[in-house]
Chains A and B, each alone.
Chain A
Amino acid sequence: MTCPRRNSAVRCLAMSTERLFAALALLLTALLAAPACAACKIPLPTISLRALDDRTDADPAAVDAEVSRRLAALADTDSLQAAELYVVQAEAASLMNNPSKVHAAAAASRARLRRLSDAAIRDALEFRLVLIEADSSVSDTEFTTALADLTRLEPTMPADSLQHACLLIMRSGVNRRLGKNDDSVSDGLLAHQITTAANAPSATADAAFELAYTYWRAGLLLDAINMADEVIDYSRSAKLPGELARGLQVKAWILTRMQRYAEALAAIAEARQLDIGLSNTADAAYADLGRCDVLLKMDRLDEAEGSCVEAEHEWTAAGRLDQLPRAEVVRADIALARGDPRAALARLNPILSADLGKVPASLLPDLYHSRSRAFSELGRYREALADLNAEERLNESGDRDRRNIAAAILKGNFEAEAAANNIRLLRAAADSERLLADRQTLIRNITVIVAALLSAAILLLWWNWRRRKESERLREVLQERSAFVGRLTAGIAHEFNNQLTVMQQGLGMLANRPSIAGDPVAELLIGEMQRANRASSEITAQLQSFGRQQSLNPQNISLQELFARIAPTIAMVAGDKVRVEVDSGSPPAVVWADERQLSAALINLIANARDAMPAGGTVKIRADMPQASRTTIAVNDQGTGMTPEVLSKATEPFFTTKSLGSGSGLGLSMVDGFVTQSCGSMRVESVIGHGTTVTLELPAGSKAS
């Protein structure tokens, strides 16, 4: 990423990582509101209502009024028609961005549906309701409900039907929104397969669109662009201008993230042309806003502002006044790029002090983000931090760790302005962005030898980095690089796994040879080789888990409950000689973290404590909440302790004091990585002969839930 010349760390970091995600999420969310798959709209059973139903897309407000009129005139006994009319009402409300009305209408429809005896009709209407509700979900809770509903309905439809594909397309989007990129891709791929086999180009384009979006989300830009191209190809050949415009828009955003600005602008121009051809002024406005954002990144500020103004005109013409803040936030960013934070504040303050219920929910994080930048430019760090926190609360979980990085850095700035560090910080961020983009091609083509050489080189970089870390606060940003090393490591581990399987198969067959049976030396040698092979497998497994891109899914965890759940594992890891005492604090502490990773981290620490006390002893685990916002978990042993030298290297990957073969040296570095990624910190205190205490400090959870 290139950064503007002015040296505010917050602004630059924001330009390099935040804006990309924020702006794209904003526009794609808006684009996604387009009706998904035509096959999803199962015709209403009552033929006379179908014409009304078909008009909903074009004029939801008029259809809503007509539905209300008909509902008032309807006899109380006509449950079917009432249920259908409420379905139409829910759809109209969804198109008018009124989620509470969607849910109310869906509930009313379901109440009528329960009175119907025909299960096929009930299922069909329920399917439409679930799709509509999923489509208008806003909060995590609603998306979670939508996911459960879709999953519940899945078995009711034939596996290779288009309806199933529609459901998968919708669920792919819901999964992505919940941060489950793997599930999202899985649904998208299956939907893609079904729609391709059914020769349904419009649905195929929809599936490809979901895949492109999720790949983009996951940073798999090459895959994303392939899928976007597929959306474009399919909709071009099937002459679907609306889909084509959508595909071009997505491609433009991917290209923007790849910094291929000229191509992005060309795609946006074509999308805009199509939108205008379709008289879709609102979408044309999105295209203009997209153009504005690209031009902003290219530092062509006057043209960028022109596009924003154009977008505002188009929204006004389309009667979509609610969308105007979208343009305002980008115009505020333009003001920031011009070095005029006061002008940015003047744009943002009126929106954020007005009734926030009228601002598109997906936009709020960006508004706070931009204002936070403006405040930080003006040296008003306290307000900047407050806005960043507001933004963080609003943001979807997938973005959360990135925001935390920004918050952590802003906090650092707040304490002392370390201007000299900023430039290095930016380069590191830029480097890791580039490395990430290259990695897909790399991993595919790499041979064992090249990978080994590369990893050695990268390990050198890594050492180098660890040394600098002591004096600089770069850790958070550079973790991206460590993730890259990790993925590379996982690639190498994969190659070794193939070789190890060959050896295991060979040794297995060798052991069964008649000439070996009864030859004690040969059996001993084979047994040792098999043992060595198994030990190597464990190392590759650990390399892989170290390298796995860990997507954290933090939630409120009561430590009392967590300790109870993992008690059997703790007892098993501790063994006979070691006693484990657990104190979950009073009142019991609550932590905000990924449960699976936290459990793994605790078990790693207990295993270390056990190994430090070969003669046995007591491991004490104590949770506490020293401040309302922080929770600490301390794991203490009375073992051998560590010298200051060992202590200083304890969190380096591959560092171990254990005898060769009994530990891989990845445990503590993984715990450290997890804690840092969770916006916390790890402290290791050790006194030779008296034992070691590892303290994890993590964000506190809220007790309410």
Chain B
Amino acid sequence: MTGSSSASRPERAHILLAEDHTMLRGFLEMSLTAEGFRVTAVKNGDEAHAVLENGMQADLLFSDIRMAGALDGLQLACWVRKHRPAMAILLQTGFTELLTGDFPVLRKPYSPAELIDAIRAALPKPSVGCAR
């Protein structure tokens, strides 16, 4: 289904996942980890902001749009673009909202294959399969 396994082609790209739906967050973490990504999962925009402010480095922000707290996904993405320009951004949403700026958006629901494709497409080219 998802193509490669972590053993055959490790991808060490680090993903910061922000998603407020607990079960979905857990499953996404499992899916992405199984694919060989390093994942830091947080439960809203404010937490994501906090870990980045505390110096954590990540290659990609993968964030839900509608989340409680001071920063929703879109605001978080704008903050990241401004303060961490090297970081790639992918948003996801289950709503039909159109105001997503020029960020790539993954529409829920999606299959594991669609998830991995979208993540790969969003990651900056050098870090895809850069496995050392």
Contacts and interface: CB of A to CB of B under 8 A. Distances in A.
Interface of A: 160, 182, 185-186, 189-190, 193, 197, 490, 493-498, 500-506, 508-509, 511-512, 530, 533, 537, 540, 544-545, 547-548
A498 B82 contact: no
Given A506-B27, A508-B1, A512-B2, A501 B109 contact: yes
Interface of B: 1-2, 5, 21, 23-24, 27-28, 30-31, 34, 66, 74, 78, 82, 94-96, 98-99, 101, 108-113, 115
A495 B94 contact: yes
Contact of A505 (B5, B78, B96, B115): B115
A623 B112 CA distance: 46
A596 to B, nearest CB: 13
Contacts of A506: 27
A512 B109 contact: no
B99 A182 contact: yes
Nearest to B81: A159
A548 B101 CA distance: 19
B82 A505 contact: no
22 contacts: A185-B99, A190-B78, A495-B94, A497-B94, A500-B109, A501-B27, A501-B109, A502-B21, A502-B23, A505-B24, A505-B30, A505-B31, A505-B115, A506-B27, A508-B111, A509-B27, A509-B112, A533-B109, A540-B109, A544-B95, A545-B96, A548-B96
A189 B78 CA distance: 11
Contacts of B98: 182
Contacts of B31: 505, 508-509
Given A508-B1, A512-B2, A189 B99 contact: yes
A511 B34 CA distance: 13
Central interface residue in A182, A185, A512, by most chain B CB within 10 Å: A512
A186 B108 contact: no
A508 B113 contact: yes
A498 B108 contact: yes
Contacts of B74: 189
A508 B2 contact: yes
Interface of A, helix, strand, loop or mixed by DSSP:
helix
B12 to A, nearest CB: 20
A444 to B, nearest CB: 9
A186 B101 contact: yes
B112 to A, nearest CB: 3
A502 B24 contact: yes
Contacts of A505: 24, 27-28, 30-31, 112, 115
Nearest to B21: A498
A160 B83 CA distance: 12
A511 B1 contact: yes
Contacts of B82: 160, 197
Contacts of A504: 109-112
A587 to B, nearest CB: 37
A545 B96 CA distance: 8
A675 B23 CA distance: 41
Nearest to B64: A498
A37 to B, nearest CB: 20
Given A197-B82, A501-B108, A512-B5, 9 more contacts: A160-B82, A190-B78, A190-B101, A494-B66, A501-B109, A504-B109, A509-B30, A530-B111, A544-B95
A500 B94 CA distance: 10
B113 A498 contact: no
A23 B95 CA distance: 34
A144 to B, nearest CB: 20
Central interface residue in B2, B34, B110, by most chain A CB within 10 Å: B110
Contacts of B110: 501, 504
A289 B28 CA distance: 57
A511 B95 CA distance: 28
Nearest to B99: A186
A497 B115 CA distance: 14
Nearest to A505: B27
Contacts of A500: 108-109
A490 B99 contact: no
Nearest to B94: A497
A520 to B, nearest CB: 17
Contact of A544 (B2, B96, B99): B96
Nearest to A491: B95
A619 to B, nearest CB: 30
A493 B108 CA distance: 10
Contacts of A530: 111
A178 to B, nearest CB: 15
A505 B119 CA distance: 14
Contacts of B99: 182, 185-186, 189
A530 B113 CA distance: 13
A286 B57 CA distance: 54
Given A186-B99, A495-B94, A504-B109, A512 B34 contact: yes
Nearest to A512: B1
Nearest to B20: A498
Contacts of A497: 94, 108-109
B24 A193 contact: no
B104 to A, nearest CB: 16
Central interface residue in B99, B108, B112, by most chain A CB within 10 Å: B108
Contact of A498 (B24, B30, B112): B24
B58 to A, nearest CB: 21
A501 B24 contact: yes
Contacts of B101: 186, 190
A548 B82 CA distance: 32
Given A160-B82, A512-B2, A490 B95 contact: yes
Contacts of A537: 109
Contacts of A502: 21, 23-24, 27
A193 B74 CA distance: 12
A528 to B, nearest CB: 15
A193 B94 contact: no
A424 to B, nearest CB: 33
